[in-house]
Chain A
Amino acid sequence: MTTIRSSLAVAVPAELRSAVDGLLLSMADDEFVIGFSDSEWTGIAPILEEDVAMSSLAQDELGHAAALYELIAALRDREGLDADAIAYDREPHQYRHARLLDHGRGDWAMTIARRYLYDTADGVRLEALAGSSLAPLRELVDKIRREERYHVMHATAWLERLAARRGEPRDRLIAALEELGPDASTVFAPLNGESALVEGGVLAEPMAALEARWRAAITPVFVRLELPMPADVLDPAHGRTLHGDPFRWLWTEFTSVRRLDPVATW
């Protein structure tokens, strides 16, 4: 812990610190929110095996979020600030996850559509960090990518099955894709200090370029399955702010125990 803290505080030049903080927070909040959304399936997934699978995926995401919050705590390097404080002790409007993850759990098709859109986008983002100049982030991304590979396999398997089954499964999937589509590319909403991140070698390419890569990667799948491609994002500048009521509800849920006794030792 001490080594991560000191190495990260040294590794990030002062002028990049706020941009790196914003990047890490956007990634951590994405993983945190999708993890909690998916954990709502625990106990009620379509079959027992899928229940275990979805719960396990949700735990993976929370694990990634925890590791990223640790990096942020190390970067901020302030006395008494730990990952839990960053994860839980904020108001809903201070979270920086993509609006794609703001639609509530929805039905199974909605969950699969969201997982597929997010996991593929996250994959492109992680690839752009695989050669990051920031060693602690690069090392973490290397580990996260190995788990995310499985997540994409799982989401793709389900996307294909729902798409291939005419009638209710396909209808529900298309409805979900149409609802989520305009928010899908909020994963690539512009970040503060993005050009500095690219120049500093933290991030390989600007978010707009990553979005183009992501669209190119998923187009063959959408064409093959005859599904509607995600529309362009309506309000990219607010892609990670202005969270609505479904997130406020989720926030109330995931902070409920923490708020009971904020200074408790777990």
Chain B
Amino acid sequence: MTDQLPLDRDAAAEAGPPLEAWEVFRREKEGDPMRHGGSVMAPDAVLAMHYAREMFGRRQESVRLWIVRRADILDLDDPDLLQPPLDRSFKKPGGYVMRGKLAIARERSGQSKPKPKPDRPRARVPGPAEPRTNGPKS
């Protein structure tokens, strides 16, 4: 009954094996990619699986989960490897202007410019943020 058990979360956590973080990836429906859902704390892999199931699957919102010990993830955030200081704009396709070449090619083959499909509105998909320092020079 409610007043029988004084429970101290911290004390309970300290008494057992240490909790560690597990990252959970989920597939919402068949054909979708695995996407990062969030993380759970658990003392071992079995309970991590249980908690991931409860946090990311109990409402039937996932068809597959990957549960990965955070410590096992190869973490790369070295700026020299990922955000080198020199201009890299020449590695981006934006450096090649295709519009004129495409128009000439179309004219030569007698095709008109394809119209946007009305049944598929072209939603703007947010891509990775453009690194401002290396952006194309204006």
Residue B4 interfacial (CB < 8 Å): yes
> Is there an interface contact between A52 and B4, defined as CB atoms closer than 8 Å?
no
With an 8 Å Cβ cutoff, the count of chain A residues facing the other chain is 26
**B residues within 8 A CB of A108?**
5, 7, 12
Residue B47 interfacial (CB < 8 Å): yes
**A residues within 8 A CB of B13?**
46-47
> Is there an interface contact between A53 and B54, defined as CB atoms closer than 8 Å?
yes
Interface window among A114-122, A149-157, A220-228: A149-157
Q: Give chain B nearest CB distance to A192 CB in angstroms.
A: 31
**B residues within 8 A CB of A232?**
none
Q: In the docked arrangement, what's the CA distance between A61 and B39, Å?
A: 26
> Is there an interface contact between B16 and A52, defined as CB atoms closer than 8 Å?
no
> Is there an interface contact between B54 and A52, defined as CB atoms closer than 8 Å?
yes
Residue A79 interfacial (CB < 8 Å): no
Annotate B1-34 by CB proximity to A: 1 below 8 A, 0 otherwise.
Answer: 1101101010011011001000000000000000
Q: Give chain A nearest CB distance to B104 CB in angstroms.
A: 61
> Is there an interface contact between A40 and B54, defined as CB atoms closer than 8 Å?
no
Annotate A19-51 by CB proximity to B: 1 below 8 A, 0 otherwise.
Answer: 000000000000000000000100010111110
Annotate B38-52 by CB proximity to A: 1 below 8 A, 0 otherwise.
Answer: 001110001100110
Question: Which of B12, B41, B58: most chain A CB closer than 10 A?
Answer: B58
Given the contacts A46-B9, A47-B19, A52 and B55 also touching, CB distance less than 8 Å: yes
> Is there an interface contact between A106 and B51, defined as CB atoms closer than 8 Å?
no
Interface residues on B, range: 20 to 34
Residue A5 interfacial (CB < 8 Å): no
**A residues within 8 A CB of B54?**
49, 52-53, 56
Given the contacts A53-B54, A153-B50, A48 and B41 also touching, CB distance less than 8 Å: yes
Q: Give chain A nearest CB distance to B92 CB in angstroms.
A: 43
**B residues within 8 A CB of A56?**
54, 58
Q: In the docked arrangement, what's the CA distance between A53 and B2, Å?
A: 19
Residue B53 interfacial (CB < 8 Å): yes
> Is there an interface contact between B4 and A49, defined as CB atoms closer than 8 Å?
no
Q: Give chain B nearest CB distance to A55 CB in angstroms.
A: 9
> Is there an interface contact between A105 and B4, defined as CB atoms closer than 8 Å?
yes
Question: Which of B4, B5, B40: most chain A CB closer than 10 A?
Answer: B5
Chain B residues with a Cβ under 8 A of chain A? 1-2, 4-5, 7, 9, 12-13, 15-16, 19, 40-42, 46-47, 50-51, 53-55, 58
19 contacts between A and B (CB under 8 A): A40-B1, A44-B7, A46-B7, A47-B13, A47-B19, A53-B50, A105-B1, A105-B2, A105-B4, A105-B5, A107-B5, A150-B53, A153-B50, A157-B47, A161-B16, A169-B15, A169-B16, A249-B1, A250-B1
A-B CB proximity, top 8 nearest: A49-B51, A46-B12, A53-B54, A104-B1, A56-B58, A52-B54, A157-B46, A56-B54
